[in-house]
């Protein structure tokens, strides 16, 4: 099989790139290891409770034991389905702060400042459900964006408490500097999840210029005899191996774990790492798999004397009624995403900018990290807090030439004592929030951390034994200046020192922006497709 372009990975980024490139005179093959799934769980916003951790949709990746977190393993979701994370995530759409991108550009990713990326966010957005919240928001793009909604007044409860705690109320949490609290924004259309596959592939599935191969696992990149140009991909589909040749380029969109894995399996990476894994070095790039960045959060859970989303809603008679309402009107409890509202707060008074992010959930969960989320039975709400710009860095590495062998992921998530102190301060702020009049009127018991934990040492212990990933891993194929020896891709997302090969997904971010990663990934993919078109014929 041969095409002009081969896009590896049919997740959030891959759907964008494949759809944007496929056109008369330009053929594209999109490879996705997972299947295509379209059912009520993938349409219902609340369906994420059943998707994350489910083997049919997700292939979770576990880190090595983290000594900074009592030896616990971080479990990252890794979607294995057409549409990727956009099909199983909590649907939050966030751009991040303008300063995030200005710092990307200042660090060597020229062309990625806020002024340069903002038009691309606007291009992909289609505000849905009322007038755009402010100028500069898109209203004609393929990605439907709306305020989170719920039939229960829980978000209003949270926002009222935030105002009583001194935060400004925001009409648009995706403003360039969202200092305050506001309704979360989600990728949803008329009460239904709107994935990247919906947004970009929906009208292109019959396009003769686009071939979508699901259940097709990329095994290794095919390089030319000199090892300086990528000419295709070796893959496995339904148990049979095949070769997909690229006349022009291969674009990796396998995500923060998949893209460095495929590069390393192909002999592109750090010499010592590849040697230890039994892979012959073809092209030295020390940064492949390094610079893993993720936001780590902790949460405070409050039992309340008002209805929330709980396990009681999963009783057969309630679930049937909720489904009927959602199916007929796109409303009701099933149209409620997990995150209803967000805020940015300061761990210490007097800071110029907030250094903590807060996300409010109109429900509470129990159990561990692995497997689908399980709702508590009692009525409760949960608010999580994380550091906006975490400094901790990890790495991703293969352990064998076998593409089916597990990755080794190392991430000392709480190695920075200052960030642990910020999380402790964030927990104290959440307690003050729950004591505000709006919450005090309905508050019952503090379920977590629990009233017994009061001292700084006790709360630090709680942070280290209960912290969790916010599912925003990025950075393992970091972009940077062409003379940066640790950068994997240049600012046009070309792999350093290679021809015919780019990476375009969350792995290229220099660090995790002050946001969920889905929105920035869409923006990166839009720009990547434009770069490819602009560079056609350039060798």
Q: What token pair was written down for 418?
A: 């200052």
Task: Return all residues near 115 (Cβ < 8 A) that are at least 6 apart.
Answer: none
CA–CA gap between residue 222 and residue 246 (Å, rounded): 9
Cα distances from 510 to residues 78, 182, 206, 520, in angstroms, run: 20, 27, 36, 12
CA–CA gap between residue 362 and residue 333 (Å, rounded): 11
Task: Return all residues near 454 (Cβ < 8 A) that are at least 6 apart.
Answer: none
Q: Provide the sign of the torsion angle of the four alpha carbons 120, 123, 127, 132, taken in this order.
A: positive
Helix ranges (DSSP H) in 343-481: 417-435, 437-440, 456-466
Total H helices, total E strands in the chain: 15, 27
Q: What token pair was written down for 115?
A: 């002024």
Q: Could you say which of 128, 147, 411, 472 is catalytic?
A: 472
Cβ atoms of 33 and 80 within 8 Å: the answer is: yes
Angle of the 114-124 helix axis to the 98-106 helix axis, nearest 10: 130
Cβ atoms of 394 and 63 within 8 Å: the answer is: yes
Q: Are strands 283-284 and 188-189 parallel, antiparallel or unpaired?
A: unpaired
Active site residue 472: yes
| Burial class (CB within 10 angstroms; exposed 0-12, middle 13-18, buried 19+) of 406 | exposed
Q: What share of the chain is helix, strand, coil (3-state, %, to 5)?
A: 30, 25, 45
CA–CA gap between residue 276 and residue 279 (Å, rounded): 8
Q: Where do we find the tokens 């081969």?
A: 6
Torsion of CA 210, 213, 218, 222, to 10 degrees: -40
Q: What token pair was written down for 329?
A: 């009107």
Known catalytic residues are: 472
């Amino acid at each position: 099989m041969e095409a002009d372009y081969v896009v590896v990975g049919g997740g959030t980024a891959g759907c964008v790139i494949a759809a944007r490139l496929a056109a008369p005179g330009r053929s594209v093959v999109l490879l996705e290891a997972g299947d295509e799934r379209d059912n009520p769980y993938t349409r219902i916003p609340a369906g994420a409770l059943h998707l994350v951790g489910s083997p049919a949709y997700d292939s979770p990746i576990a880190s090595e034991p983290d000594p900074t977190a009592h030896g616990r393993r971080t479990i990252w979701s890794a979607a294995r389905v057409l549409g990727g994370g956009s099909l199983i995530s909590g649907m939050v759409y966030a751009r991040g702060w303008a300063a995030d991108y200005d710092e990307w550009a200042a660090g060597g990713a020229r062309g990625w400042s806020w002024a340069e990326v903002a038009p691309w966010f606007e291009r992909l957005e289609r505000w849905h459900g009322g007038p755009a919240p402010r100028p500069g928001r898109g209203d004609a793009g393929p990605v439907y964006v709306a305020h989170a909604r719920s039939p229960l007044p829980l978000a209003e409860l949270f926002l009222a408490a935030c105002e009583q705690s001194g935060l400004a109320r925001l009409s648009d949490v995706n403003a360039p500097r969202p200092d305050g609290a506001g309704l979360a924004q989600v990728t949803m259309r008329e009460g239904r999840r709107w994935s990247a596959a919906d947004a970009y592939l929906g009208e292109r599935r019959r396009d003769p210029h686009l071939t979508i191969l699901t259940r097709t696992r990329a095994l290794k990149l095919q390089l030319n005899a000199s090892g300086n140009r990528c000419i295709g991909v070796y893959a496995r589909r339904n148990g049979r191996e095949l070769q997909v040749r690229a006349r022009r380029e291969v674009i990796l969109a396998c995500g923060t774990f998949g893209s460095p894995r495929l590069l390393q399996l192909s002999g592109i990476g750090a010499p010592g790492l590849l040697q230890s894994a039994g892979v012959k070095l073809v092209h030295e790039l020390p940064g492949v798999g390094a610079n893993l960045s993720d936001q780590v959060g902790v949460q405070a859970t409050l039992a309340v004397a008002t209805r929330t989303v709980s396990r009681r809603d999963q009783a057969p008679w309630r679930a049937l009624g909720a489904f009927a309402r959602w199916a007929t009107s796109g409303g009701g409890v099933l149209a409620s995403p997990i995150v209803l509202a967000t805020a940015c707060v300061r761990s210490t008074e007097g800071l110029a900018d907030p250094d903590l992010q807060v996300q409010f959930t109109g429900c509470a969960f129990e159990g561990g990290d692995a497997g689908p989320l399980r709702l508590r039975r009692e009525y409760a709400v949960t608010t999580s807090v994380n550091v906006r710009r975490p400094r901790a860095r990890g790495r991703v590495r293969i352990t064998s030439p076998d593409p089916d062998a597990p990755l080794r992921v190392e991430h000392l998530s709480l190695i920075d004592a200052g960030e642990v102190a910020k999380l402790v301060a964030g927990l104290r702020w959440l307690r003050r929030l729950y004591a505000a009049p709006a919450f005090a009127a309905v508050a019952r018991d503090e379920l977590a951390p629990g009233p017994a934990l009061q001292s700084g040492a006790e709360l630090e212990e709680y942070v280290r034994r209960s912290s969790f990933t916010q599912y925003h891993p990025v950075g393992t194929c970091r972009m940077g200046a062409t003379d940066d020896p640790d950068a994997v891709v240049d600012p046009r997302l070309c792999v350093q020192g290679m021809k015919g090969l780019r990476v375009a997904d969350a792995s290229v971010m220099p660090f995790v922006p002050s946001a969920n990663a889905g929105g920035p990934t869409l923006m990166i993919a839009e720009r990547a497709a434009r770069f490819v078109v602009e560079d056609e014929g350039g060798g």
